[in-house]
Structure 1
């Protein structure tokens, strides 16, 4: 009976071990976007502008020593999107994408509620993919654009005219 399992175990070892080894050496690919909150609402709207040339960093903090380490940097493309490859499994470290700089004039203040995004950089949680998406992060425009008051009414309308 034990003999019948030998070929099965051999096949599993030959096929699964190389896949596991490849996964360990495969970098994580983090993707996200950076925008200018032109109305200072704290979220993306139809008036949102995506920022080309914004700088982002990926920072991981050890939960025991609390030591932080920058593990990656990226710059957004023309559509405000960035991609960064991160080598190494960060296991139980807390990792964040963080805003660094906006080159857009009059849009430099990081939105405190949208200036970071949690990113997962471990394979120990059962995630099969090495591609992970960070939530969008934003900067506030110095002064809201004209028309933002009527846009706010549109977002608050919710079918109840008294909410305006």
Structure 2
């Protein structure tokens, strides 16, 4: 004679308990996302003439808040739209993390733009952000020679060229 058959309530309870006891894979996973641009007018910000760089290298780095020592780093590359998406597998709550420009494959636009070469990001779920995607400010390189259209844009943006 066989033992008692498990009831559906017991099976449901067993399923819930096993789900709670299992490690929460993916819960602490983040994606750092941003864009890399070429400042074609050398204005220091994105304009109508801005182009986005495919194949630019970006790195996410985290440093210990107290010592400044590098604790984590992972690299990524931009797609055809100049967008990078870099996965980070775990939380970094006690660290200062940034997306940092590494290099541009675009000839004539390889100089790092001061103040636009890195962007701070929060990599903790205790930040009030419900999405696992962490959006970084755009990162930029400066074109060697401004485009001809930049003279007109400087008037539009009221910038002395």
TM-score normalised to the size of structure 1? 0.80
Which structure has more helix as a fraction of its residues?
Answer: 1
Q: Which position in structure 1 is the counterpart of 2:140? A: 138
Match of 1:53 among 27, 52, 55: 55
Unaligned runs of 5+ in 1: 1-10, 158-162
Question: In structure 2, what is the Cα distance between the partners aligned to 1:32 and 1:18?
Answer: 34
For residues 24 and 80 of structure 1, the distance between their equivalents in structure 2, rounded to whole angstroms, comes to: 26
In structure 2, how many angstroms separate the alpha carbons of the residues matched to 1:136 and 1:99? Answer: 10
Structure whose CA Rg is larger:
2
Gaps of 5+ in 2: 1-12
Q: How does 1:12-161 map to 2 (within 5 A)?
A: 18=20, 22=24, 25-156=27-158
Q: Give the secondary-structure state (helix, strand or coil) at the position aligned to 2:86.
A: strand
| Cα shift at 1:25 | 4.5
Shift, 1:59, TM fit: 0.7
Count residues in correspondence: 146
- 1:28-54 Cα distance to aligned partner (Å, 9 max, x none): 011110000000001111100100000
The CA RMSD over aligned residues, in Å, is 2.6
TM-score when normalising by structure 2: 0.81
8 Å contact from structure 1 (residues 71, 86) kept in 2 = no
Task: Measure how far apart 1:70 and its partner are.
Answer: 4.1
What whole-Å deviation, never above 9, does each CA across 1:98-141 have from its counterpart, x for those lacking one? 00000000000010111111111112223322111111100000
Contact 1:37/1:43 (CA < 8 Å) preserved in 2? yes
Name the CA distance, whole Å, in 1 between partners of 2:41 and 2:20.
Answer: 51
